[in-house]
Structure 1
């Protein structure tokens, strides 16, 4: 059983090789090493981007927003409590998302105003960790009991920069209200004091602002318990819509107000499609590199077969079966694939685990910036190694190497011992 393995290893270590055969063999191992390492590094970078983007996007917006299709929920607090009791829902809080204009010294900017219930906002969003001033949280949006300070607002970094405001300045929040007859009211405005500025990265910083839910209710003339949305947090981010739909449908079927759903994926879908597309294209390209390297295994084994025709003929004449001959050369090719895969996995893991530091070193040495925080969510290259993906990559590469060695093994198995030993 172990004889083909022993003979295959002996053939692999044989010094009776031409320069070209040895070069092709080394080239195949190096090619597989580079392909495996590049695939591990690339996928780790993609995983890092996906994880970081998810963290930052979910930091500024709820996982799911349940919207009233009839205008407002008249008793939003009770509806939120009912939804929170459903399976798959970990938190629910009344809230609103409205489009508005912000004005400071005749500098106008459009904004997506997210109104949160300041006392329990942490259940559905986690903006606090992105605050420029770490001493400020969204809890500071809560109105003071005497009402002396007035409404407050938290702005995104780029939005504050374009308005040329900082903490303590005042901005005018301008909204319009839909009337019952389908028309829009005259613009309504209220001055809000900037109590904090957050910085996520990317375009979110230029469009998002936060106010307390009571500010929007007062501005639009809504009652204390009214709200147009319920913000949800679910157990699963990627299955959030299904979990929320199950919870909401139970309420709708019981006669509650008609509701619609919008998940974080609806707003971040283009970004995630781009990440997945790049991941797919990269995997295909690097797998082709590995396949080409494995074709070098075919070339080196065919040359090895031609070099060892006499040895194979002797083995066959001594009773060595043709199937074992095939196994011998398959083992020889398989070990080339294993060497390349092992070296590639080790090299790829070392770089992937320290990818952020490696990229920062390259940026510092050459004075370049690979990512710009003004365009992307971050100014560094994140990394996240998925060891199951590493195992899958290694398994696929070894399988390709195994399949590549079969054809030369079959060619060796059908050598004619009589013709080889007679010199014809």
Structure 2
């Protein structure tokens, strides 16, 4: 006879046609429920991993790993500080910057923006913004020409293109014979950039460092120095290490301080979604309990005969654990195959659906990212698979225990 006995009888019960078709229907429902739950878990977590990865890459492509600034006013002697920082082995790039909030106008169009003054030759060492230029030339950003590079969303809000002029209004006022007037300067649009994040495309403008110092009247000083490290995840430790090598006291902050709440919110949302979608698998596991309870009731006579032939209670438990586990394993395998296949093709399926129905799920003017990225992580698949199998296995324990407690004489009394 096939050994072990529990596996043989459990598989036989699973393949046998039941007198009660409702039990078969619930078994199929349980299997499909687990498959759908596992598929949803893998797909949603992969999409959220993709969002987190894209946000991290795009945000950190625009912001520096750390910044060094003075506690009071502009940072003087920034040339020497920049050289000292570049000499550190863990610093891959260092570039000065001047920043300030302004109002941009053209005709009747008015919008606020954050202006960042940069050195075009040194900016690529700390950010990727100049690599995202889609119109115009970065080489036209020269000192004294008052050129400006706008984000694509900012340019559309103002209705300007490369070659047009805009007016920059700073919040600093000047006193004249006509009274107190804001400081105004006309700039020439030399290029446009697109990073596919409305946070930057709609609010960031770049100009040459010298022009920014004239605009904000920082003299020979700058707002601070932006740094890029060789290890992104070690930025907090490396920022403190860089501060220790600087002569004097400076305010040093890293990217985790600037975006900590944002990435913490993404991580929390991922955890909550995992728990919510896990309830689908939990409901399917409850269906396994219902299925096995009805099977135990249906097989009372068979259980009694097995007991009278010498089958131990543990053997009876094993029979129904095998039957329930088979439902869980089949559903989990189907769910893993469906989830992995869907997660790997989300970036193809979603644009096809948008094109077919002429809709856009993530409008660029509302969401930070307008596409639906996906990043499948093997560890997520393993954790989801193990969790689904454990829930399925736990769901078999009560019905199997109930079957093992069957009294042969009571079960065979009316047979």
Using the size of structure 1 for normalisation, the TM-score is 0.86
Counterpart CA distance in 2 for 1:140 and 1:305 is 81
CA drift of 1:377 comes to 3.0
Counterpart CA distance in 2 for 1:372 and 1:327 is 54
Q: 1:171 aligns with which of 143, 166, 169?
A: 166
Matched with 1:158 is 153
CA drift of 1:291 comes to 0.2
CA drift of 1:237 comes to 4.2
Determine if contact 1:32/1:290 at 8 Å carries over to the other structure: yes
Distance 1:55 1:421, change over 3 A: same
**SS of match in other structure, 2:112:** strand
CA drift of 1:267 comes to 5.0
Q: 2:111 aligns with which of 98, 109, 112?
A: 109
Distance 1:220 1:372, change over 3 A: closer
RMSD across aligned positions (CA) = 2.8
CA drift of 1:372 comes to 0.7
**SS of match in other structure, 1:118:** coil
Matched with 1:209 is 205
1:128-207 map, 5 Å: 128-133=130-135, 136-137=137-138, 140-143=140-143, 150-175=145-170, 187-199=182-194, 200-207=196-203
1:238-317 map, 5 Å: 240-248=235-243, 250-251=244-245, 255-261=247-253, 263=255, 266=258, 269-270=261-262, 272=263, 274-317=265-308
Matched with 1:41 is 43
Counterpart CA distance in 1 for 2:49 and 2:133 is 25
CA drift of 1:11 comes to 2.0
Counterpart CA distance in 1 for 2:22 and 2:253 is 64
Matched with 1:28 is 30
Determine if contact 2:66/2:252 at 8 Å carries over to the other structure: no
CA drift of 1:118 comes to 1.3
**SS of match in other structure, 2:68:** strand
**SS of match in other structure, 2:207:** strand
Counterpart CA distance in 2 for 1:69 and 1:328 is 73
Determine if contact 1:43/1:279 at 8 Å carries over to the other structure: yes
Determine if contact 1:203/1:375 at 8 Å carries over to the other structure: no
Counterpart CA distance in 2 for 1:17 and 1:386 is 44
Distance 1:83 1:410, change over 3 A: farther
Determine if contact 1:58/1:264 at 8 Å carries over to the other structure: no
Distance 1:123 1:132, change over 3 A: same
Q: 1:16 aligns with which of 18, 26, 42?
A: 18
Determine if contact 2:173/2:182 at 8 Å carries over to the other structure: no
Determine if contact 2:100/2:216 at 8 Å carries over to the other structure: no
Distance 1:264 1:189, change over 3 A: farther
CA drift of 1:193 comes to 2.0
Matched with 1:182 is none
Unpaired segments of 5 or more residues in structure 2? 175-179
Counterpart CA distance in 1 for 2:230 and 2:409 is 71
1:376-391 map, 5 Å: 376-391=367-382
**SS of match in other structure, 2:245:** helix
Instruction: Give CA-to-partner distance per residue, 1:79-130, whole Å, 9 cap, x none.
Output: 2343445575433222222112333346443211112221121111112343
Counterpart CA distance in 2 for 1:85 and 1:332 is 67
**SS of match in other structure, 2:167:** strand
Distance 1:141 1:241, change over 3 A: farther
State which drifts further: 391-400 or 99-108: 99-108
Counterpart CA distance in 2 for 1:265 and 1:363 is 37
Using the size of structure 2 for normalisation, the TM-score is 0.88
Matched with 1:349 is 340
Instruction: Give CA-to-partner distance per residue, 1:347-397, whole Å, 9 cap, x none.
Output: 112121111222222222222221111222343222221121111111100
Determine if contact 2:236/2:256 at 8 Å carries over to the other structure: no
Determine if contact 1:128/1:136 at 8 Å carries over to the other structure: no
Determine if contact 1:176/1:186 at 8 Å carries over to the other structure: no
1:66-145 map, 5 Å: 66-86=68-88, 89-105=91-107, 107-133=109-135, 136-137=137-138, 140-143=140-143
